[in-house]
Amino acid sequence: MKDTLSKIRETAIASCAAAKTVDEVENLRVQVLGRKGELTQILRTLGTMTPEERSEVGKLSNEIKTELEAALDARKADLEREVIGKKLSAEWIDVTLSGAQTTEPFERGHLHPISQFQYEIEDIFTSMGFDVLDGPEAETEHYNFEVLNIPKHHPARDMQDTFWTEDGNLLRTHTSAIQVRGMEKIKPPFRVIGPGRVFRYEATDASHENTFYQVEGMMVDKNISVANLIYFMKTLLREIFKREVKIRLRPGFFPFVEPGFELDINCLICGGEGCPVCKQSGWVELLPCGLVHPNVLRSGGINPDEYSGFAFGLGLNRLVMMRYGITDIRHFLSGDIRFLKQF
Ligand code: DAH
């Protein structure tokens, strides 16, 4: 019996030292000291032994039990400490480490030139009392065309072919889609701009992209005329180009404005003398605009006899290209880090 006991002890102590997880330690505890455990079974047979045997085996068993319990507890504590230690060293962060101490040269990223410019324009307009609106890039035909006075078979749709979803929605072709969405939310008088990404089904080349950026603008109040439009456009251009810019309006057709214009600026490169940039004309086409068509106001629940407004659509890519002398629109979405690093 003594031999059996010392075998149990030896094996248990060895297994305890070899246990790699807390679960293994606990299983061992059950296996030896549990209700059906090896040691417990022996203690159960004490009644069948002679008094001498009983006291000897009982004493030894209790000693082993105490020793084993201590060994199991100690191993368990060690393993628990090990787990915490591992976690601590794996998840340790030196919050005091500065970028300069890393071996890699530390490079801070920055906003894309289009975003930089968009925020600049938002600042200019908010300083003039405009709110900034957002609209969905995936639009309904209703907001992108119908309410803008471009019914289904209107030829103006040909100029703005886009990507359609199978359920009849589309990727918006212009930020003008925010016009009526805006009017449904805000009552006149109001001044809003809506910057965002737009899409066209387009063969790409140096001046055409299938994905580009616009800022829509709209002001509606009593007695808004072309004079208001000219004032805000001139202020905008002065802020962007940091100088007084001469402009001219030419007639332009867009179904959602009447009258509609193309706004040209006096060429900033040659000052109007004529150069390759302005194709010797002295003028550069900059942005389309006009007075909001009565039908569009009506679609937005506004009475055109009471209110009028102007609207414009600023091509962001175009302006950034003019500012930095970028010659190919495809650079913007190329993801080429050499291009982006320059801004
Ligand atoms: N949505 C037009 C386009 O992308 C641009 C435009 C023209 C916007 C005239 C306007 C506007 O607000 O009045 O081609």
Taking the CB of residue 238, how many other CB atoms lie within 10 A of it?
13
User: Could you tell me if the CB of 315 is within 6 A of ligand 1?
Assistant: no
Taking the CB of residue 198, how many other CB atoms lie within 10 A of it?
26
For the record, the structure tokens of 170 come out as: 């589309």
For the record, the structure tokens of 149 come out as: 């006075």
Q: Are 287 and 215 in contact (CB under 8 A)?
A: no
**Percent of residues, the chain, with pLDDT higher than 70:** 98
Tell me the CA–centroid distance for residue 146 and ligand 1, in Å. 14
User: Could you tell me if the CB of 216 is within 6 A of ligand 1?
Assistant: yes
Residue nearest to atom 7 of ligand 1 (CA): 288
User: Could you tell me if the CB of 311 is within 6 A of ligand 1?
Assistant: yes
| pLDDT exceeds 90 at position 305 | yes
User: What is the average per-residue pLDDT within 246-275?
Assistant: 93
Residues 6+ apart with CB under 8 A from 65: 33, 39
User: Could you tell me if the CB of 257 is within 6 A of ligand 1?
Assistant: yes
| pLDDT exceeds 70 at position 99 | no
Residues 6+ apart with CB under 8 A from 152: 145, 146
| Best mutation site among 160, 173, 176, 181 for ligand 1 pocket (most ligand atoms within 8 Å of CB) | 176
Report pLDDT for 297. 98
Cα distances (Å, whole numbers) of residue 159 to 154, 174, 209 = 10, 11, 14
Residue type, 335: G
Q: Are 117 and 323 in contact (CB under 8 A)?
A: yes
| Distance in angstroms (rounded) separating the CA atoms of residues 313 and 146 | 18
Collapsing DSSP to helix, strand or coil, 24 comes out as: helix
Q: Are 218 and 179 in contact (CB under 8 A)?
A: yes
Name the strand (E) or helix (H) holding 218.
strand 211-221
Which position has the token pair 């296996």?
A: 31
Q: How confident is the model at residue 102 (pLDDT cuts 50, 70, 90)?
A: low
User: What is the average per-residue pLDDT within 190-201?
Assistant: 97
| pLDDT exceeds 80 at position 104 | no
Q: Are 295 and 183 in contact (CB under 8 A)?
A: no
More confident residue, 17 or 123: 123
Least confident window among 54-63, 153-162, 314-323: 54-63
Taking the CB of residue 161, how many other CB atoms lie within 10 A of it?
13
Which position has the token pair 């214009």?
A: 261
Secondary-structure percent of the chain, ordered helix, strand, coil, rounded to 5? 45, 20, 35
Report pLDDT for 229. 97
For the record, the structure tokens of 275 come out as: 């150069």
Question: Phi and psi (nearest 5°) for 204?
Answer: -85, 145
| Distance in angstroms (rounded) separating the CA atoms of residues 143 and 340 | 34
Q: How confident is the model at residue 339 (pLDDT cuts 50, 70, 90)?
A: very high
For the record, the structure tokens of 147 come out as: 């309410």
| Distance in angstroms (rounded) separating the CA atoms of residues 174 and 161 | 11
Least confident window among 106-110, 131-135, 246-250: 106-110
| Distance in angstroms (rounded) separating the CA atoms of residues 300 and 294 | 10
| Best mutation site among 211, 233, 254, 319 for ligand 1 pocket (most ligand atoms within 8 Å of CB) | 254
For the record, the structure tokens of 184 come out as: 């449904």
User: What is the average per-residue pLDDT within 195-201?
Assistant: 97
Q: Are 257 and 290 in contact (CB under 8 A)?
A: yes
User: What is the average per-residue pLDDT within 16-29?
Assistant: 90
Least confident window among 54-63, 89-98, 280-289: 89-98
Name the strand (E) or helix (H) holding 267.
none
Residue nearest to atom 6 of ligand 1 (CA): 313
Tell me the CA–centroid distance for residue 314 and ligand 1, in Å. 8
User: Could you tell me if the CB of 182 is within 6 A of ligand 1?
Assistant: no
Can you tell me which atom of ligand 1 is nearest the CA of 179?
12
Handedness of CA 249, 250, 254, 255 (dihedral sign): positive
| Best mutation site among 170, 173, 312 for ligand 1 pocket (most ligand atoms within 8 Å of CB) | 312
Residue type, 321: M
Report pLDDT for 283. 93
| pLDDT exceeds 80 at position 277 | no
Tell me the CA–centroid distance for residue 271 and ligand 1, in Å. 27
Taking the CB of residue 335, how many other CB atoms lie within 10 A of it?
8
